[in-house]
Chain A
């Protein structure tokens, strides 16, 4: 069950919005519409669904409409057209009182520049959402303190925001949003104002928190590395439209168009691609069925120097080398067990290329990719290099 359903959501800034929408649907570009109608297209017919407990990242360059889109979700900006459903209630059409209730109870927002109240202490800032709801002092202070503990600021409650570093201030922003115990957390470039090291820490911490809380998070960013790090799914925006929605891998490996391709070009692929993305189907022999004769045949056929050995349920047993097999054949041995070697390098499906790179460097045989002891694929040195050089052509079969 999706928590949020966005359907055909548009925002056009200006007076002749109907005319602009019509031109937009006819396929005119943003600049042309600005020239003809004086209207600026913020968001153009965005549709997507966000599942419960998902981290949904909306990514795009500045001016792509991502900040407008997130503000349409809690109606800080009034949509021109379209629906935003939260728990099957249409937020885009509801009255002011209902909207206020949703904002108080279901959605909280974290802001790029923290947006803390400078005249309030950390605790008072964190209490703000609860105070607005009219919750009594004791209870809101208790909840706020819990939220502050969660983000590791339990001992700073009497400080003022100006006394804290940027990273700590954003923790307060996060605590303030969490104190309400919302279903949905909207994070608008929440970590963009922090320096890179702190940003990494905050990303890790958000992931840790997410493991505990399982909130539905909509995260806006212009930073692809960040999006890939924390997103379960990513929506890429350009000129107000969503151009692709998919998992990080999907976006990297199958960019929907040139724009996405350009966007992902600069990513450090070694951190993003995993064993699964570059492994290929392994040639194997069955330890129970096959002897040296079959093994040698397959090795010759494929021009290999070794071959992996599995059992009937594809559990990895080891490997045999071409030399050993041909010796065994000469000596008329029937069983592969006698020449089986087990010193092969193995990795998991989600091991990053960066780690594989170190392993494969010293290995004399292809790296085995295993899952629960079963052989899923192998990785040859060439595939790693190819992936690092140009990820777009990577896929299992022709690597």
Chain B
């Protein structure tokens, strides 16, 4: 009898659950709208001024004669790999190929997007990582947020990105910031927490202040790990360029997107190849930056 009653209550509760949908979607819509309106004083200057600056910067890059850019990149690749010819040769051939395919301007736009997005990610991410390493409370709060940022499908935050920043490069930077920041935060946290206990004790025993310990011991010790995080962040923001093109971010990603829309496998492949070439050059250069400093 009792059991039956219990069973009934549970059943009726479950069936009643469906009658009234919790207005989560509505709530988010309202929030986005509210934020867009209330914070337009904050978003609009970013949308306009920052967007203009980004485009100016990309234009400026595009105006540098490609030959100079290519020579520069090849030289950097040569010296940073310890005067080896592998990466230098690859950079030379790859960049000439992109130039040959009339994608030079798009390359500069994509590079600008990746550069700016990564810079912002690193500038925000490293201090957040430091905070996390210093406080278990901060770690417990920030960790789920990072999980959320990394697993939420990118398309989902493209929508509010457009609401806040319109279309173009700026929402693209925003989207890739969300997607690409977690690794540098995590690696910074990990790197500092991994500094051996004895070294931290040695630092304390000689009477360092908190910031002396951070800058003279912990950050130098964690540098390799943090740089690995930076490398990951750069790679992830590069992987966002195609998705960001859906909200109007220009560059190689947009070429891929338009090839998709016109079912043109050939141009899609070529633009995709351009992204791969850029990715490999950036990856190898940042990795070697790490090795050199280690």
Contact B202 A101 (CB under 8 A): no
Query: For the side of the interface on A, what is the size category?
Result: 20 to 34
Instruction: Give 1 or 0 for each of B202-233: 1 = CB within 8 Å of chain A CB.
Output: 10111111001000110011010000000000
Indicate whether A104 sits within 8 Å of B207 (C-beta atoms), given known contacts A117-B217, A119-B221, A131-B216.
yes
Stretch in contact with the other chain, from A108-116, A136-144, A151-159: A108-116
User: A325 to chain B: closest CB distance in Å?
Assistant: 68
Contact A111 B198 (CB under 8 A): yes
Contact B204 A117 (CB under 8 A): no
User: B243 to chain A: closest CB distance in Å?
Assistant: 39
Contact B199 A100 (CB under 8 A): no
Chain A, residue nearest B293 (CB): A119
Contact A115 B199 (CB under 8 A): yes
**A1 CB-CB contact with B under 8 Å:** no
Indicate whether A132 sits within 8 Å of B198 (C-beta atoms), given known contacts A117-B217, A117-B220, A119-B221.
no
Bound state CA distance, A208 and B199, in angstroms? 28
**B147 CB-CB contact with A under 8 Å:** no
**B26 CB-CB contact with A under 8 Å:** no
Indicate whether A115 sits within 8 Å of B220 (C-beta atoms), given known contacts A101-B207, A132-B212.
no
**B201 CB-CB contact with A under 8 Å:** yes
Indicate whether A100 sits within 8 Å of B220 (C-beta atoms), given known contacts A111-B201, A115-B198, A115-B199.
no
Contact B207 A103 (CB under 8 A): yes
**A62 CB-CB contact with B under 8 Å:** no
In the complex, chain A residues 40-76 whose Cβ is within 8 Å of any chain B Cβ: 71, 74, 76
Bound state CA distance, A112 and B196, in angstroms? 13
Chain B, residue nearest A109 (CB): B205
Chain B, residue nearest A103 (CB): B207
Contact A76 B205 (CB under 8 A): yes
Contact A133 B207 (CB under 8 A): yes
Chain A, residue nearest B206 (CB): A129
Chain A, residue nearest B201 (CB): A76
Inside 8 A of A102's CB, which chain B residues have their CB? 207
User: B192 to chain A: closest CB distance in Å?
Assistant: 15
Contact B206 A111 (CB under 8 A): no
Indicate whether A128 sits within 8 Å of B201 (C-beta atoms), given known contacts A117-B220, A119-B221.
no
Contact B198 A113 (CB under 8 A): yes
User: B216 to chain A: closest CB distance in Å?
Assistant: 7
Contact A108 B221 (CB under 8 A): no
User: B222 to chain A: closest CB distance in Å?
Assistant: 11
Contact A109 B202 (CB under 8 A): yes
**A221 CB-CB contact with B under 8 Å:** no
Inside 8 A of B202's CB, which chain A residues have their CB? 109, 111, 115, 117, 128
Inside 8 A of A101's CB, which chain B residues have their CB? 207
Inside 8 A of B204's CB, which chain A residues have their CB? 76, 103
Indicate whether A117 sits within 8 Å of B206 (C-beta atoms), given known contacts A131-B216, A132-B212, A132-B216.
no
Chain B, residue nearest A130 (CB): B206
Of A115, A117, A129, A176, the residue contacting B201 (CB under 8 A) is A115
Inside 8 A of A277's CB, which chain B residues have their CB? none
Bound state CA distance, A196 and B209, in angstroms? 37
Majority DSSP secondary structure for residues of A touching B? mixed
Bound state CA distance, A386 and B256, in angstroms? 94
Bound state CA distance, A133 and B208, in angstroms? 8
Of A71, A103, A112, the residue contacting B206 (CB under 8 A) is A103
Bound state CA distance, A113 and B201, in angstroms? 12
Inside 8 A of B205's CB, which chain A residues have their CB? 74, 76, 103, 107-109, 186
Inside 8 A of B220's CB, which chain A residues have their CB? 117, 119
Bound state CA distance, A370 and B236, in angstroms? 84
In the complex, chain A residues 307-361 whose Cβ is within 8 Å of any chain B Cβ: none
Contact A100 B198 (CB under 8 A): no
Inside 8 A of B217's CB, which chain A residues have their CB? 117
**A180 CB-CB contact with B under 8 Å:** yes
Chain B, residue nearest A111 (CB): B198
Inside 8 A of A103's CB, which chain B residues have their CB? 204-207
Contact A132 B201 (CB under 8 A): no
Inside 8 A of B198's CB, which chain A residues have their CB? 111-113, 115
Bound state CA distance, A100 and B196, in angstroms? 21
Bound state CA distance, A32 and B259, in angstroms? 74
Inside 8 A of A100's CB, which chain B residues have their CB? 207-209
User: A176 to chain B: closest CB distance in Å?
Assistant: 8
Chain A, residue nearest B197 (CB): A115
Chain A, residue nearest B202 (CB): A115
User: B235 to chain A: closest CB distance in Å?
Assistant: 26
Bound state CA distance, A112 and B202, in angstroms? 11
Inside 8 A of B206's CB, which chain A residues have their CB? 103-104, 108-109, 128-129, 132, 176, 180
Contact A132 B199 (CB under 8 A): no
Chain B, residue nearest A129 (CB): B206
Bound state CA distance, A325 and B223, in angstroms? 87
Inside 8 A of A132's CB, which chain B residues have their CB? 206-208, 212, 216
Instruction: Give 1 or 0 for each of A66-103: 1 = CB within 8 Å of chain B CB.
Output: 00000100101000000000000000000000001111
Inside 8 A of A104's CB, which chain B residues have their CB? 206-207
User: A184 to chain B: closest CB distance in Å?
Assistant: 12
Bound state CA distance, A103 and B201, in angstroms? 12
Query: Interface centre among B204, B207, B220, by most A CB within 10 Å?
Result: B207
Inside 8 A of B223's CB, which chain A residues have their CB? 119
Inside 8 A of A118's CB, which chain B residues have their CB? 221
17 inter-chain pairs at a CB distance below 8 angstroms, sorted by A residue, are A100-B207, A101-B207, A102-B207, A103-B205, A105-B207, A108-B205, A109-B206, A111-B198, A112-B198, A113-B198, A115-B198, A115-B201, A118-B221, A128-B216, A129-B207, A132-B216, A180-B206
Closest 9 CB pairs of A and B: A104-B207, A103-B207, A115-B202, A115-B198, A109-B205, A129-B206, A100-B207, A119-B220, A132-B208
**6 additional contacts (CB under 8 A) given A103-B204, A103-B206:** A76-B204, A104-B206, A111-B198, A112-B198, A115-B198, A186-B205
